[in-house]
Chain A
Amino acid sequence: MGEALSLSGFMMDSFTEVKFKNLPDYLIGFEVRQNRADCLSLYGLAREAAAFYGLKVKLPKTKKIGAVGEKLDIKVDAGKVVKRITAIKLSGLKNAESPVWLKEFVAFQGINSINLLVDLSNYVMFLTGYPSHLIDLHKVNGTISWSLNHDFSEVTTLMGTTVALKKDNELIIRDQKNIIALSLVGSKSAEIDMTTDSVIAEVAVYDHAVIRKNSRSLSIVTEASHRLEKVLDPNGCLAALELLASLILEYAGGRAESGLYDYYPKKYVSPVIEFIPGSPSQFSGIEIPDKTALKIFKDLEFKIISPRLIGPGPKKSGRKILVTPPTYRQDLELPEDLVEEAIRIYGYDKIPADRAPGLPVTPEITPKNIILAEKIRDILTATGFDEILSWPLTGKDDNGLTNYSAWRTIAAQNSINDLFPNLRQSIASGLLIQLDEYFKKNLKFIDIFEIGRVFGEKDGKYLEHESLGILTAAKEKALPKFKNNLENLLRLIGFNDLKYFEAKIKPAIAHPNSVWEIYADGKAIGIIYKLAPRENKLESYFAEIDLNLITSLLKGRENNPVVELTQKLIYLDANIELEKNQSVYEYLNGLEKKIDKKNLWALTVADIYPLENKTRYTIRVAYKELTDQEAKKIHLSVFNL
């Protein structure tokens, strides 16, 4: 049965040998998903098993509750959220310790036995799926009402914990003075004890969303809330109440003092759903005859309105097969829902899983940044860097140390703990933690990188982009090597025009005189800096590149680094002097424009010599496809020599 129910939607998640009523037995646990509140009960699972095996369910007989008797003093103020309330007054009861079988039963559900009345209430909940309240009438003052409007500030629950309430926020059951119960848990003030001899038993169904909100805001999760926050069938309330009343009267004696109280403003009626012939076969990929599907529906207690359609016949076209599920199947509304019902009972195990389909060709839509990130990973690992992944949530101060962009920190409202409330603005935060860990663990080579998201808020918008962070730590200064590794990467992925300018926003962890913005094609794409001295006394360097930005810069670009060389290259130098604040990159930019592209092979700074107020640069130009004389002529002209 465990296997059978697992296949049809209720995964067996535990299987234990137990003793029940002094006999060996088995306790099987099933996972019931959120759409099947009807199966948070033994009745529901019994119906499922019956449908699977083609059997009929036989439920215990209960006494019907009549209309004759005392009228209960109940009022419903929260009409919008109460779907149905059924209640009855039972008097002359003798509460007691529960019988052994009942104690064993509730213990299987992980519940402690309290007393006979409370245990029977729980027993009925596990049988039917409907939570109930038993209200000790000796502890109630006047009219009992269901209300959302209240000004109680707290309530002590049956478990003895006091929870704070918000005005007009929770659905409560109250008398003139006190809270008798919350919808999802009883109150200590009307608790059933061994002296209880007169109760109002009620079974109700509410708007599940309100119960869910109450459960979350109060942090109260009970077996009752677990059920009431799902979509329960209001039509089932009465049967559950009748079972509870029957059991109480059987085990605790007494009598029904009142007639049935039934608040049910809008009766729930099942939808009529069209069954599309052939659909179970189309969706499953195997032949499931429509007749088989309709037999399954009958086993599931669905009503079929026009079954004559099935089978060959001239009248088949244009007529519909309409199906009505029982009201407890609140999860069914669409033709596709019927398809699932047919396939799940027919058996998922009958669908072959070893037939790889020949899927048709579809357009390639992979975004370029994903392809680029993969290439970058390959290049960096080939250069000796190790990939790490770190937490995108960071400590309170981390962004203040590592951020270099004009955006604000984003904080999670409910982060897992107070130590890591913020989303990182730079990959540096994670890499630095890794650096410290590797240092502690005495690792020799620390060349690491991470590709991940960084986040920030700007102009009221939440921004994020894929970012590459690279970090190197060494015993000796290694900035040129680090910069070359980075530049090697950037050139390999297609950037020719790379420049470095002193950064405008300098991260606090950076050495203030060694922070540069990285420019590609005239746009700032990231940052490179030396870290300020750290405890580990290593020389550490970090660089970060905005991968989304560089993807957009590289898109559509057509570089062609392949050249047909017919003559030797000619290298000629020239010295220039620039003011301290003048950029050599800008000078080179200007120079590049003066030389015909077809004759320029490379432009480099061969030497730098500081002067009093200026800097002297030796610029080396490599000319191609020119004779010595031609190159010299151009060189003299370009440098005004």
Chain B
Amino acid sequence: MPDNKLKNLIATLKVDLESAKVINDTEKIWRRYFGDSGEIKLCMKEIKNLSVEGKKIKAPIMKSLYDEALGLFRAKENLLKHNLDKRALESGSEELNYDSPKIGHLHPITKTIREMNQLFVSLGFSIMDGPEIEEDEYCFQRLNVPMDHPARDMQDTIYIKEPNYLLRTQTSSIEARTLANYKPPFKIVSPGRVYRNENVNKSNHFIFHQYQAVVVLDKVSLKDMFGVFNLLLKKMYGRDVIVRYRNKYYPEVEPGAGVDLRCFNCGGAGCPVCKGVGWIEIGGSGIIHPKVMKVAGIDTKKWRGFAFGLGLDRMVMAKYNITDIRTLLGGNLGYKYYENESLI
């Protein structure tokens, strides 16, 4: 009887499945029992040879046996497939490495300039630069410092070709060029490198960096300028910084203002750091001199401007605990391979 035959086939199927170790073994078993010429498949085809009565009785039994056989096969097949996946997963797995990638760093001067730029760009300022080989006209004359003006002594100049070509001594030369080349209104900041003929030692360098702001609008005042400068100083030195503005002569501004911070070392009581006076000078500022505006062709009845500037190097040194100014432009500046400052 075909059902008995099917039972026997299931018994041999069980033996074969038991011996299958890898998924590929199941293909052979499938062909032997369930393929087009497979023994179980052929056995099932015998149902059609039974009498009507035989079909009624045997067909459900045969179908049930077939399902049992197929279930046995699928169970084994799934088991071997799972084993295959597991082995594949095991063979493709990886371990984390323990050497970190070296990261890149911006120079502390760049970082500081960016911090300041961020503030000013948020206030709608543009960023400007100018030539480092500058003409006397833009470095001095247009800034109300004619030839042989005593104020030239403030800045010992490195000349390329005296008297007309020099290395810029101040970022105010960018101010002079902007005033000459752009029509107001404008608001700009100009970070830049400047040069003065000074001996290089731990505290002084012939190259240093300045940060300057220039605003020309229909009306501005010292109060506006102090307000903007204070924003910058609070950003760079913290909200509790104490700032003093006092009158100071600079040829390119009128009225001019010197800017001091309360001595961070003594809190104003007086100490060697502040030479006993309680304040440390950090910058200069003022309302742009009418002569500077006029030489640039700007109508002083319509426009008024302010400008301020400060040195960056000492600020950077204090922030990054650098004790020798030469480190900023020399070979001693190193970066930790795997560390960076917090970006927020």
Q: Are B126 and A364 in contact (CB under 8 A)?
A: yes
Interface string of B92-117 (1 = CB under 8 A from A): 00000000011111110110001000
Please report which residues of chain A, range 1-45, place their CB below 8 angstroms from some CB of chain B when the two chains form the complex.
Answer: 2, 6-9, 11-16, 33-36
A residues in contact with B167, CB < 8 Å? 412
Q: Which residue of A lies closest to B110 (CB)?
A: A387
B residues in contact with A392, CB < 8 Å? 132, 193, 207
B residues in contact with A441, CB < 8 Å? 331, 334
Instruction: For A354, give its contact among B153, B227, B257 (CB under 8 Å).
Output: B227
The reply on A230 being an interface residue by CB < 8 A is: yes
Instruction: For A388, give its contact among B161, B182, B275, B333 (CB under 8 Å).
Output: B333
B residues in contact with A250, CB < 8 Å? none
Instruction: For A33, give its contact among B249, B328, B330 (CB under 8 Å).
Output: B249
Q: Are B132 and A386 in contact (CB under 8 A)?
A: no
Q: Closest Cβ of chain A: how far from B199's Cβ, in Å?
A: 7
Q: Closest Cβ of chain A: how far from B153's Cβ, in Å?
A: 7
The reply on A360 being an interface residue by CB < 8 A is: yes
The reply on B34 being an interface residue by CB < 8 A is: no
For the complex, give the distance between the alpha carbons of A11 and B330 in Å: 34
Q: Are B124 and A382 in contact (CB under 8 A)?
A: no
Q: Are A35 and B249 in contact (CB under 8 A)?
A: yes
Q: Are B223 and A286 in contact (CB under 8 A)?
A: yes
Interface string of A337-348 (1 = CB under 8 A from B): 101100110001
For the complex, give the distance between the alpha carbons of A212 and B153 in Å: 9
The reply on B65 being an interface residue by CB < 8 A is: no
Interface string of B206-243 (1 = CB under 8 A from A): 11000000010101111110111111000000000001
Instruction: For B158, give its contact among A209, A212, A337, A415 (CB under 8 Å).
Output: A415
For the complex, give the distance between the alpha carbons of A341 and B290 in Å: 16
Q: Which residue of A lies closest to B130 (CB)?
A: A367
Q: Are A462 and B133 in contact (CB under 8 A)?
A: yes
The reply on A514 being an interface residue by CB < 8 A is: no
Instruction: For A384, give its contact among B104, B186, B230, B287 (CB under 8 Å).
Output: B104
B residues in contact with A433, CB < 8 Å? 331
Q: Are A388 and B107 in contact (CB under 8 A)?
A: yes
Q: Are A355 and B223 in contact (CB under 8 A)?
A: yes
Instruction: For B276, give its contact among A16, A386, A437 (CB under 8 Å).
Output: A16
Please report which residues of chain B, range 137-162, place their CB below 8 angstroms from some CB of chain A when the two chains form the complex.
Answer: 147-151, 153-154, 158-162
The reply on B263 being an interface residue by CB < 8 A is: no
Q: Closest Cβ of chain A: how far from B236's Cβ, in Å?
A: 15
Q: Are B223 and A352 in contact (CB under 8 A)?
A: yes
Interface string of A210-249 (1 = CB under 8 A from B): 0011000000000000000111000000000000000000
Q: Are A387 and B331 in contact (CB under 8 A)?
A: no
Q: Are B247 and A343 in contact (CB under 8 A)?
A: yes
B residues in contact with A35, CB < 8 Å? 150-151, 249, 251
Instruction: For A348, give its contact among B131, B182, B245 (CB under 8 Å).
Output: B245
B residues in contact with A33, CB < 8 Å? 248-249
For the complex, give the distance between the alpha carbons of A366 and B121 in Å: 10
Q: Closest Cβ of chain A: how far from B242's Cβ, in Å?
A: 10
For the complex, give the distance between the alpha carbons of A423 and B279 in Å: 38
Q: Which residue of A lies closest to B276 (CB)?
A: A15
For the complex, give the distance between the alpha carbons of A366 and B333 in Å: 30
Q: How many residues of B contact A (CB 8 A)?
A: 93
Please report which residues of chain A, range 391-441, place their CB below 8 angstroms from some CB of chain B when the two chains form the complex.
Answer: 391-393, 410-416, 423, 433-434, 436-438, 440-441
Q: Which residue of A lies closest to B229 (CB)?
A: A353
Q: Are B276 and A11 in contact (CB under 8 A)?
A: no
For the complex, give the distance between the alpha carbons of A352 and B243 in Å: 11
Q: Closest Cβ of chain A: how far from B306's Cβ, in Å?
A: 10
Interface string of A534-562 (1 = CB under 8 A from B): 00000000000000000000000000000
Q: Are A284 and B102 in contact (CB under 8 A)?
A: no
For the complex, give the distance between the alpha carbons of A55 and B285 in Å: 30
For the complex, give the distance between the alpha carbons of A386 and B153 in Å: 38
Q: Closest Cβ of chain B: how far from A129's Cβ, in Å?
A: 14
Instruction: For A362, give its contact among B131, B187, B193, B224 (CB under 8 Å).
Output: B187
A residues in contact with B154, CB < 8 Å? 34
Q: Are A412 and B331 in contact (CB under 8 A)?
A: no
Instruction: For A381, give its contact among B105, B161, B331 (CB under 8 Å).
Output: B105
B residues in contact with A357, CB < 8 Å? 220, 223-224, 227-228
Q: Closest Cβ of chain A: how far from B316's Cβ, in Å?
A: 11
Instruction: For A389, give its contact among B109, B153, B188, B335 (CB under 8 Å).
Output: B109
Please report which residues of chain A, range 437-468, place their CB below 8 angstroms from some CB of chain B when the two chains form the complex.
Answer: 437-438, 440-441, 443-445, 447, 452-453, 455, 462, 464
B residues in contact with A36, CB < 8 Å? 249
Q: Are B222 and A343 in contact (CB under 8 A)?
A: yes
B residues in contact with A352, CB < 8 Å? 223, 226-227
Q: Are A356 and B231 in contact (CB under 8 A)?
A: yes
The reply on A359 being an interface residue by CB < 8 A is: yes
Query: B residues engaging A (CB < 8 A)?
Result: 101-107, 109-110, 114, 123-124, 126-129, 131-133, 147-151, 153-154, 158-162, 165, 167, 182, 185-188, 193, 197-200, 206-207, 215, 217, 219-224, 226-231, 243-249, 251, 254-258, 260, 270, 275-277, 279, 281, 287, 289-291, 304, 328-335, 337
Interface pairs A-B: 5 shortest CB-CB = A437-B331, A285-B223, A285-B221, A381-B104, A340-B255
Known A336-B254, A352-B226, A443-B334; 18 more pairs at CB < 8 Å: A11-B246, A34-B251, A229-B150, A230-B150, A283-B255, A334-B290, A340-B255, A351-B222, A353-B223, A367-B128, A377-B110, A386-B104, A386-B335, A387-B105, A413-B160, A415-B158, A453-B132, A464-B133
19 example contacts (A-B, Cβ-Cβ < 8 A) are as follows: A13-B277, A15-B277, A34-B151, A34-B154, A212-B153, A283-B287, A286-B223, A334-B291, A351-B223, A353-B223, A353-B229, A362-B126, A366-B127, A386-B335, A387-B106, A392-B132, A410-B133, A416-B199, A464-B131
